[in-house]
Every structure is written in C-alpha cells, then in structure tokens.
Amino acid sequence: MDLVKEIKRLKEEKNAVILAHYYQIGEIQDIADYVGDSLGLSQKAAETDADIIVFAGVHFMAETAKILNPTKTVVLPDVNAGCSLADSCPPEAFEKFTKAHPDHVVITYVNCSAEIKALSDIVCTSSNALKIVNSIPKETPIIFAPDKNLGAYIIKETGRDMLLWDGSCIVHEAFSMDKLIELHKKYPDYKIIAHPESEEHILNTATYIGSTSGMINYVKEHQDQKFIVATEAGILHKMQQEMPNTELVPAPAKEDNTCACSECHFMKMNTLQKLYDCLLNESPQIHVPEHIIDRALLPIERMLELSK
C-alpha cells in the first residue's frame, strides 16, 4: 500500500488536517499540512475548520489542540508519545507548590499536562516566554514551571526573580559539553545555535538561542554561515530542506547512539503507518475532562492573545 497516497486520500475524505512538530520523522513532516513549533501548532489548532486534527507530535501538544477544540476529534498516532518535561510536573505536587505561594502568578511552559495548565494563570512557549514574563507587572512574583533550564534563561534575560519548578527535558539535557568542545575544534568556523531547554553551559556557547522556529529563521537569515545545532535532531530535516546549501551539524549527545545526536524517543514513536492507522480508525483519540478544559482554556487563550 502507498501510505502517503492513502493518507492524502483519507485526509480529503474525512476533512482532516495534519499538524506536525519539527521533531517528527521526515516522512511525517513532508505529508503534514503544517509543520511548526509549539506556538505555531497551537495557533493552527485554534484556527482550523477541519473536523479531525491529526496531531503528529507528543501528548501535551495534542491535548492543547483538544482544549482549543473540545468538539473536534483529535488523534495522536501513538498515544504513548509523552514528554519527560511534562512528566516531571505531577499535578498534586504542583498544586501544593502553587498553594504555598498564593500571591504568585503561575506561568507554565506549554510542555505540561492539561491538569497543570488548569492550575496556571498563563501558558507560554519557548518563542513567546520572554514576552509573556515581561507582560506581568514587575512587582508581581512569578512561579515558572516545569522547565528549570528555560526558567533560568528567562531569569537571565529579563532580570525577573522567578520561583522555578525542578523539571527538565531529557533530550536537551543529553548534550555533552566535552563532545561539543571537541566538535567545535573540528569545525571552528561553525556557529552554535541552541534551544533554551538546554543547560546553561550549553546556552553560554550559543550565538543564537530560540525556539525551533526561531532557530530555523536564524539559519535562514544567515545561510552563508555554518551551524552546530543544539536541539532535537529532527529539526535538521526542515533546515536542510529549506537551506540545502547551508552546512549543519547536530550537537553531540553524551551517550553514543546511532546518529551521535540527540533524539526524542517520544517524538519518534509516531510513524507513517501509525499516522495512517489513526486517521483510518479515528483512534487513539485525545480526551480531556470537561472541568479541566474549563480551567485550562483561559491560560492558553491569554497566551494566544499576547502572541498576535
């Protein structure tokens, strides 16, 4: 069976839209109607008139799409595609933490569960985090969760003193500083660009720090330069497609793996076959309890409003 052809046929027949993150495998990015970062994907999910949203990403992303579209069918090719960062913030413990600091505004990075979003005042992504934090009056104390690395980067950039949750992404914490130094010795004229989920010592080496879309745009604007890319390696697919003549090398991971880069095994759980199956069967579907949607929608809408 020609999976690509069949997915396209089913998509038309069922009025479905395929939204994919830059960390998805190349074949999925190539068949998607839209490929983007977390903010772009939420914006597309908010404005779609499709009946079915096929979310080629991880669970919290599909949940966000469902919160924005409670009456639509939202499917995720592999329902086990989770996120270490979202898992590092369990709702009960987080509720206790926020209750211990009732005067704090709660800003949560979109990489968290719907339950955590329901406990938040406003959501942010890596592309609007600085703007969202700066929108809070200076005298108001802030809780930022769940990513401590992004949180530390925001504190450094804005000068705000925020209370941070102790969460992190296993993929962005897997970069090896020693190997990065070695690689840079081999490619001394390459600039390092990094995602703010990376640890501070990695960020300190970077010429540019930003979201996945931000990194792609930076490379686009500097196509004559060469880059070492410190984020999940799936992003190289889009970069190489759009900038075929730009030389790119993925930042090395601590553990040796097949690509010597950092890969998110959650993102890579989705395959073309699973995408076809979920579109055909309209399963596995994402369900979010109504009382959670009621509380999680406003913090997401606030973010979308501030990001226009």
Q: Is 89 annotated as a binding residue?
A: no
Residues that bind ligand 13P (CB under 6 A): 37-38, 111, 125-127, 169, 195, 197, 211-212
Q: With binding defined as CB under 6 A, does residue 74 bind ligand SF4?
A: no
The torsion region of residue 82 among left (phi > 0), alpha (psi -120 to 50) and beta comes to beta
Which of 123/162 has CB closer to ligand 13P?
123
**58 sits near ligand SF4 (criterion: CB under 6 A):** yes
Question: What does 10 bind: ligand SF4, ligand 13P, none (CB cut-off 5 to 8 Å by kind)?
Answer: none
| Residue 112 touches ligand SF4, criterion: CB under 6 A | no
Q: How far is the CB of 146 from ligand SF4 (least distance, A)?
A: 10
* Joined tokens for residue 58: 């991880």
Q: Which does 136 bind (CB under 5 to 8 A by kind): ligand 13P, ligand SF4, none?
A: none
Closest CA to 269 of 79, 6, 19: 79
DSSP reduced 3-state for 56: strand
**Quick check: helix, strand or coil at residue 210?**
coil
67 binds ligand SF4 (CB under 6 A): no
Instruction: Spell out the long-range contacts of 160-167 with Cβ–Cβ below 8 A and sequence spacing 24 or more.
Output: 160/133, 160/136, 162/107, 162/133, 163/101, 163/104, 165/88, 165/89, 165/94, 165/97, 166/88, 167/85, 167/88, 167/89
In the list 46, 130, 170, 304, the residue contacting ligand SF4 (rule: CB under 6 A) is 170
Where does this chain touch ligand SF4 (CB under 6 A) — which range of 77-85, 176-184, 239-247, 273-281? 77-85
By a kind-dependent CB cut-off of 5 to 8 A, residue 126 interacts, out of ligand 13P, ligand SF4, none, with ligand 13P
Contact flag: residue 266 with ligand SF4 (CB under 6 A): yes
Cβ–Cβ < 8 Å for 263, 231: no
- With CB cut-offs between 5 and 8 Å by kind, which of ligand SF4, ligand 13P, none does residue 37 bind? ligand 13P
Compute the CA torsion angle 141, 210, 121, 78 (nearest 10 deg).
-140
Write out the E strands in the chain.
16-21, 34-36, 52-56, 73-75, 105-109, 122-124, 142-145, 162-164, 190-194, 208-209, 226-230, 248-250
> Is residue 298 part of the contact set for ligand SF4 (CB under 6 A)?
no
Annotated binding site for iminosuccinate: 21, 38, 109-111, 126, 195-197, 212
Annotated binding site for [4Fe-4S] cluster: 83, 169, 264
Residue ranges that bind ligand SF4, judged by CB under 6 A: 58, 83-85, 111, 169-171, 197, 232, 264, 266-267
